[in-house]
Chain A
């Protein structure tokens, strides 16, 4: 299983990369971590004429963690984000989620931006982006634009990236320190593609009633899936097992996953609800009372 022949470019700067995309966009594929792309090339499911390797562009890898806003360069390795102490303190959800992304060897090369741009429906990081008020920065010779997660993830393995565009960074708002968070996933083996998963963020008031809840599901739709009715069900309520179970039934009623050889639609739908209940209870347990 060898890739079909391709031509190769390895720009050393963003400007070089942008110019290469301007000239070759439609026939070029960007190579970031390669942990998703190279298997596709090996199996010849993708046969781009040109591979544009952006691994030599040093300033695309960075972590800028302000007190509320966090910016992560697209080429930042997943392993780097996982190990970053500041991110671990500000956005513990990210470190927890990354534990589920492949294996350490994958995360050594895999990048934050690459995972987002590949937009696999069973990818974990897009779900986290979907609940963290994210903004995606896309750059081309035509200029710069920023998109929300909902605008960025447009379908199965599809994003709003134009053929001449490069994702340069993802920004998101660090959740308030008193927010509770959780990430749950079911896969056949740890590190396998998620069959279903959920990222959750909740906030409570002084009476332990939920004031804000966000859930994004993995593996049950073309991209990360939010279920507003389920989130609304929690607001104003104490998150008890009974409330979580009611919410889970709303989730199961709302989701419409596809089935495949790894898991049926019914299985994914059922498990998503179960994981949602576990996640909101765990997240509730992690909240601290808002001041």
Chain B
């Protein structure tokens, strides 16, 4: 088959579209579901900008085909908060200058969100381990670490 019906739940809402089987999950999320918070960076699994949660676990959505998410739950950055009501993690990024251009930010947020969900007061080592697969060109990373530390209740 060259096309397939993909039925998935994104942020709790069912999305069903027939797409080419080679359509990546990140393109499906952005183009077919219209959720452009998830970003396409390197498109070969190195930068982490495309990170979403698949059935609760952080994955690189550029390395998944949409058809592979059929029947699964996808969580994107749009689920964390709204511009009017940021999540505590997002608020921490604002307060600690954890972003500049913001391109890498959704990916960082999803990995940090999953980390703090499982380990609410994650250690520095755990934070670095969880976020080590994300690239940022702007911040130099330290403010991102401070933001996540703060969200983990361990900020200065």
Contacts and interface: CB of A to CB of B under 8 A. Distances in A.
A35 B22 contact: no
Contact of A105 (B67, B68, B133): B133
A9 interface: yes
Given A42-B43, A105-B48, A34 B133 contact: no
Interface residues on A, range: 20 to 34
A106 B21 contact: no
B117 interface: no
B111 A105 contact: yes
Interface in B39-69: 43-45, 48, 51, 54, 57-60, 62-65, 67-68
B64 A1 contact: no
A105 B59 contact: yes
A178 B1 CA distance: 53
A43 interface: yes
A195 B58 CA distance: 26
A35 B2 contact: no
A6 B63 contact: no
B133 A1 contact: no
Interface residues on B, range: 20 to 34
Contacts of B57: 79, 108
Contacts of A2: 22, 24, 27
Nearest to B67: A8
Tell which of A9, A38, A102 has the most Cβ of chain B within 10 Å. A38
Contacts of B24: 2, 38
Given A1-B44, A105-B59, A108-B58, A8 B4 contact: yes
B129 interface: yes
Given A1-B44, A5-B22, A103-B133, A38 B2 contact: no
15 contacts: A2-B27, A4-B22, A5-B20, A34-B64, A34-B65, A34-B68, A38-B44, A39-B44, A39-B45, A42-B62, A55-B68, A105-B58, A105-B133, A106-B60, A190-B132
5 closest A-B pairs by CB: A103-B133, A8-B21, A39-B44, A38-B63, A1-B43
